[in-house]
Structure 1
């Protein structure tokens, strides 16, 4: 189970860091989408990016100390749940053009839950 936990944590850390850096720097299409389409402020966008980057670091460290990895993955579940709510309010799940981008937080949230489960089983 350790290998599954390590692989899920590493993949999730890679995704979280890749999503967090553009939000911290406010560069690229994702921060623009958050601010214009979903109505997220620039400061909240940066905060989300910092949370994702911190979770990435916690997930990598959590490979060696599982409680930290579990906490980092749980934090990402909360971040992704918030993203699902924002996308739902914007009507992205009903819009076929926007649905593809809105599914990402659901999938990553499920991966974060799987990382929690596998890490918890290795303790």
Structure 2
């Protein structure tokens, strides 16, 4: 059973790490869609590099979590909290286009549960 949980974590965590890596790159490149979305939820432009760093750390932690379980748990917990914050930010400004943040929250929570169980 643990092997199946580990394989599931590897798949979910890997996909989440890829999404975080892409989001990091787009944030650092100041992609128009990312910048517009951040402005919509009233995130200052000066926060983009910091938020990109958090996403990069999450991606690295999820990947390293394949070998170091506590690091995977910590990374998945951090990413889950990050995206809960993103959902709250959207709701705070009454922006209901929050599907990407909500989906990533669910994926991060799944990665957390799977890593704990593996």
Both proteins in one fold, TM over 0.5:
yes
Aligned with 2:94: secondary structure? coil
User: In structure 2, what is the Cα distance between the partners aligned to 1:52 and 1:75?
Assistant: 9
Shift of 1:51: 0.3
- Pairing partner for 1:24 from 21, 28, 31: 28
Deviation at 1:40, TM superposition (A): 0.8
Report the counterpart of residue 8 of structure 2 in structure 1: 4
Deviation at 1:28, TM superposition (A): 3.1
Equivalent residue pairs, number? 114
Report the equivalent of 1:39: 42
Structure 2 residues without counterparts, runs of 5 or longer: none
CA RMSD after TM alignment: 1.3
Unaligned runs of 5+ in 1: 94-98
| TM-score (normalizing by structure 2) | 0.89
8 A Cα contact 2:27 2:52, kept in partner: yes
* Residue number in structure 2 paired with 1:54: 57
- TM-score under structure 1 length normalisation: 0.85
State the Cα distance separating 1:62 from its structure 2 match: 0.5
Aligned match of 1:67 in 66, 70, 85? Answer: 70
